[in-house]
Amino acid sequence: MGAPHVSAPVPLPADDDDDRTSFSKESLKRAFFDHLFYTIGKFPKISGKNDLYLALAHAIRDRSLQRWISSTAQYNQTAPRTVAYLSAEFLMGPHLGNHLINLGIADSVREAMAELKLDFNEILRQEEEPGLGNGGLGRLAACFLDSLATGQIPAFGYGIRYEYGIFFQTIIDGWQVENTDKWLRYGNPWEIQRAEWAVEIKLGGHTEQYTDDAGYLRVRWAPEKTVVGVPFDSPIPGYRVNTTNTLRLWRAEATESFDFSVFNQGDYLGAVSKKVTSENLTKVLYPNDETTQGKELRLEQQYFFVSCSLQDMIRIHLARGGAIGDFDKKFAIQLNDTHPAIAIAELMRLLVDEHLLPWDQAWGITTRSFSYTNHTLLPEALERWPLDLFQRILPRHLELIYEINARFLNDVRIHFLGDESRISRLSLIDESGERYVRMAHLACVGSHAINGVAELHSDLLKHGLLKDFYEMWPEKFTNVTNGVTPRRWLVLSNPRLTSLVTNAIGDAWVTDLPRIRLIEDYIDDAAFRQEWRAVKRANKVDLAALILRRTGVKVDPDSMFDVLVKRIHEYKRQHLAVLHIVTLYHRLKSGRARDPLPRTFIFGGKAAPGYHTAKLMIKLITSVGDVVNNDPDVRDLLKVVFIPNFNVTQGQCIYPAAELSEQISLAGKEASGTGNMKFAMNGALTIGTMDGANIELRDQVGAENFFLFGHTAAEVRHIKTAGYHPGDYYHSHSELRTCLDLIQSGFFSRGDTELFRPLVDNLLRHDPYLLLADYQSYIECQDLVSQAYRDHEGWTRMSILNTARSGKFSSDRSIREYAEQIWNVKPVPVELYDEAEMEHTLR
């Protein structure tokens, strides 16, 4: 790697520090050098930036380890009810900065590094973030782990240790190009492999009946193959508490005794290739967000991590002296969407086939353990597995699902007196054409609680997508509005705003976000408003530098930063924002823009590699950008940039610099959104629809501090039932017509009239997400935004009020609601183990 960064010789601190993991600067420096020598095996002169990062990461990990071990010891002693958060995705973001903030040593480490003449920020930037998620769902899981630990709630995150996370996005000639994400390339100092807790996982094969010693008929699963799941643990520190929970991710490996028959015949390479096949299981994260594909490997991944995790929970429960029949008293298992829903059948298999419990007892344990969070309103995102595929991989689970279904449909029959159409609608098996297993149905039947992630979403579930289940069990349904952690999304990402707020009102808001409302008292303080603007302006300068590095485009920090970053999806309507840009551009070109407001439009987000329309939307954004950014007539009044590879690290730079947050999905499509919350906390104003948590955000910040546009979910339903004709809007609205014609004419595609035809044709003919119906309202609302922005003081007041009133959207509040209403778990304060004492007991 790069040039040596330490100017040797560096005086080493005196070796008289008995507490080897103290937070003192001297102790930190000593540990840093110890790790550089003895863990990394380098000395300063030949150390690259990454070596320095690894040494620092190890030094900090040691300081989390004492708390981590203490937490585990305490949990093992007292066996409290524990949350198991099952999620196929955890989009954690970089660990180092988060550990520094939560341990409270960011300043001393910064000073220690400065004293060593090292560039602390540069070292922090070395960490490759583990991109083990697609977007909002995976990031929610990460925010929840932070809030669980900070709330001192015993919890495990259980998931998959993908060797390749979400692809790395580059933009070439305006198109998205995917590159593999080799995040483990330089090692991962934040994980510890726990080979001793590996478990075996069966796949495929068939089942056999047998009679046990007591004369009971039982079922045995004879698998086609087995793989081994090996856990890798990472510490999850709470903020300024001893509690440090565990994120346990599973990696697939070949069984030790793989295929000796083949081996003995001398087919060594054949045997090794089987080993490779086993390890493919956790090789790569599926890059589809909000869609499913019914791929065999994906079902294997889901089953693999779920079975590993349940076997692990049972091991822990029994090791703590628990009886198998009390399992549900000790674990509350949350299903983050249906990706882990096969856990319901798997727990039944473990309890009935392996621990020999009677069906009814096993079912009681299962339903009391599980709860299910739905994350979508898009029908195409509902997971279902072709029956033959399911049968081939999980033959025993299919039998169990049939049995669960038979008993469930019996209840339905009694409840609704044989309403046969209701029965086929509710069945766990979709028999309308090709037969499928419906995972959302399994999740609903096997859980005691079902929740949506924003008020509107939960209502729409009850009266739409999951209506039949709601009518069967209204008591199971609740809402828990999503939240985000203020530690990562304010303290870590926006240190300037954090200082300004903390200097004014103290720091209690960090773990009690509603208290940030106290800054409202400063709203009439002109000096405070001035500082508020200075913070935003400095964050914009930082982002402008990032934009220049990543895109080569120079943007003006004095222009309004108008930001739309999230996964690229038709329902999220990035192309509606493009119609606005083209409208402004055309107004400028035709001299009809009176006193235009300089704006920088900042886009970012990944498209699923097979989602052609989404990729074309990226090409549209970059193509419009190329024309607009280089047109001298526009005189830098308009800039359009697409920042490649939007991820958590980039988000930490983008959200704090945003002034306008674009939350423009079609009403009734976005379950909640969490980007909307991060923006508001950081003082951006929202232009948005009545969708997801936007509604609650507007309630909180006040309608006068939120730019609302577009049809409501109810209006959308009416328009669609009445028969929607997008062409009518095209013909009746001349500005809209001009925009679409300009795109279609090849103006943004060097004369190519075919390139964007699929997009434009789709809008004119079908427009399933009602861009044309919402266009006018959006443009008028954007004109109001421009007017409002010119009033600097007024805008600053609104910005302060957005931050001040964002308290509801802390994930600490979400976790408290889950803990009280769904999990029935309580905080367990952790006492620190004394290192010296621990050594003493060993001697």
- Residue nearer to ligand PLP on the CB measure, 375 or 441: 375
Each as own residue / partner, the long-range contacts of residues 118-126 (CB below 8 Å, 24 or more positions apart, any chain) are 118/5, 118/6, 118/52, 119/5, 122/5, 122/49, 123/49, 123/52, 123/53, 123/56, 124/53, 124/94, 124/96, 124/97, 126/49, 126/50, 126/52, 126/53
Its sign, for the CA torsion 382, 388, 392, 398, is positive
- Residue nearer to ligand PLP on the CB measure, 395 or 710: 710
Restricted to residues 253-292, the positions that interact with ligand PLP (CB under 6 A) are none
The answer to whether residue 648 forms part of the interface with ligand PLP (CB under 6 A) is: yes
Which one among 94, 97, 135, 157 touches ligand PLP, defined by CB under 6 A? 135
- Residue nearer to ligand PLP on the CB measure, 253 or 562: 562
- Residue nearer to ligand PLP on the CB measure, 13 or 651: 651
282 part of the active site: no
Peptide bond connecting 9 to the previous residue in cis, omega within 30 degrees of 0: yes
Question: How far apart are CB 645 and ligand PLP at their closest, in Å?
Answer: 10
3 state DSSP class of 14 = coil
Tokens representing 550?
Answer: 């990543």
The answer to whether residue 651 forms part of the interface with ligand PLP (CB under 6 A) is: yes
SS3 string, 446-505, reads: HCCEEEECCHHHHHHHHHHHCHHHHHHCHHHEEECCCCECHHHHHHHCCHHHHHHHHHHH
Phi, psi at residue 278, to the nearest 5°? -60, -40
The answer to whether residue 457 forms part of the interface with ligand PLP (CB under 6 A) is: no
Which one among 647, 744, 796, 810 touches ligand PLP, defined by CB under 6 A? 647
Cβ-closest position to ligand PLP: 675
Q: Tally the residues of the chain.
A: 843
Instruction: Report how far residue 667's alpha carbon sits from residue 729's, in angstroms, rounded to the nearest whole number.
Output: 19
Among residues 516, 529, 539, which one has the least CA distance to residue 797? 529
678 part of the active site: yes
Stretch that binds ligand PLP, among 100-108, 133-141, 343-351, 816-824 (CB under 6 A): 133-141
- Residue nearer to ligand PLP on the CB measure, 145 or 742: 145
The answer to whether residue 238 forms part of the interface with ligand PLP (CB under 6 A) is: no
Question: How far apart are CB 103 and ligand PLP at their closest, in Å?
Answer: 23
- Residue nearer to ligand PLP on the CB measure, 566 or 639: 566
Instruction: Report how far residue 617's alpha carbon sits from residue 572's, in angstroms, rounded to the nearest whole number.
Output: 11
Buried b (16+ CB within 10 A) or exposed e, 679-688: bbbbbbbbbb
Which one among 44, 94, 97, 136 touches ligand PLP, defined by CB under 6 A? 136
Amino acid sitting at position 589: K
The answer to whether residue 744 forms part of the interface with ligand PLP (CB under 6 A) is: no
Other CB atoms within 10 Å distance of the CB of residue 277: 13
Restricted to residues 675-714, the positions that interact with ligand PLP (CB under 6 A) are 675, 678
Place of tokens 């990226």: 618
What are the residues whose beta carbons fall under 8 Å from the beta carbon of 465, sequence distance 6 or more?
374, 377, 379, 382
The answer to whether residue 139 forms part of the interface with ligand PLP (CB under 6 A) is: yes
- Residue nearer to ligand PLP on the CB measure, 531 or 691: 691
For residue 284, the 8-state DSSP code is: B
Question: How far apart are CB 237 and ligand PLP at their closest, in Å?
Answer: 20
Strand order in the sheet with 638-643: 638-643, 599-604, 560-565, 660-663, 685-688, 707-708
Which one among 67, 536, 566, 669 touches ligand PLP, defined by CB under 6 A? 566
- Residue nearer to ligand PLP on the CB measure, 395 or 605: 605
Identify the bridge partners of residue 218 per DSSP, sorted by sequence position: 210
Tokens representing 342?
Answer: 């096969």
Instruction: Report how far residue 519's alpha carbon sits from residue 503's, in angstroms, rounded to the nearest whole number.
Output: 10
The answer to whether residue 49 forms part of the interface with ligand PLP (CB under 6 A) is: no
Helices (H) and strands (E) in the chain, counts: 34, 25
Catalytic residue (one of 572, 606, 615, 619): 572
Question: How far apart are CB 244 and ligand PLP at their closest, in Å?
Answer: 23
Stretch that binds ligand PLP, among 40-48, 265-273, 352-360, 643-651 (CB under 6 A): 643-651
Question: How far apart are CB 649 and ligand PLP at their closest, in Å?
Answer: 9
Tokens representing 73?
Answer: 């010891």
Site size toward ligand PLP (CB under 6 A) is 12
Category of 631 on φ-ψ map: left (φ > 0), alpha (ψ -120 to 50) or beta:
beta
What are the residues whose beta carbons fall under 8 Å from the beta carbon of 663, sequence distance 6 or more?
670, 673, 675, 676, 679, 686, 687, 688, 689, 691, 692, 694
Question: How far apart are CB 673 and ligand PLP at their closest, in Å?
Answer: 4
- Residue nearer to ligand PLP on the CB measure, 13 or 135: 135
Which one among 674, 802, 803, 811 touches ligand PLP, defined by CB under 6 A? 674
- Residue nearer to ligand PLP on the CB measure, 343 or 648: 648
Question: How far apart are CB 488 and ligand PLP at their closest, in Å?
Answer: 9
The answer to whether residue 130 forms part of the interface with ligand PLP (CB under 6 A) is: no
Stretch that binds ligand PLP, among 299-307, 387-395, 405-413, 646-654 (CB under 6 A): 646-654
The answer to whether residue 673 forms part of the interface with ligand PLP (CB under 6 A) is: yes
Stretch that binds ligand PLP, among 19-27, 148-156, 450-458, 642-650 (CB under 6 A): 642-650
Q: Which residues bind ligand PLP (CB under 6 A)?
A: 135-136, 139, 566, 646-648, 651, 673-675, 678
- Tell me which residues are annotated as active site: 375, 566-567, 572, 674, 678
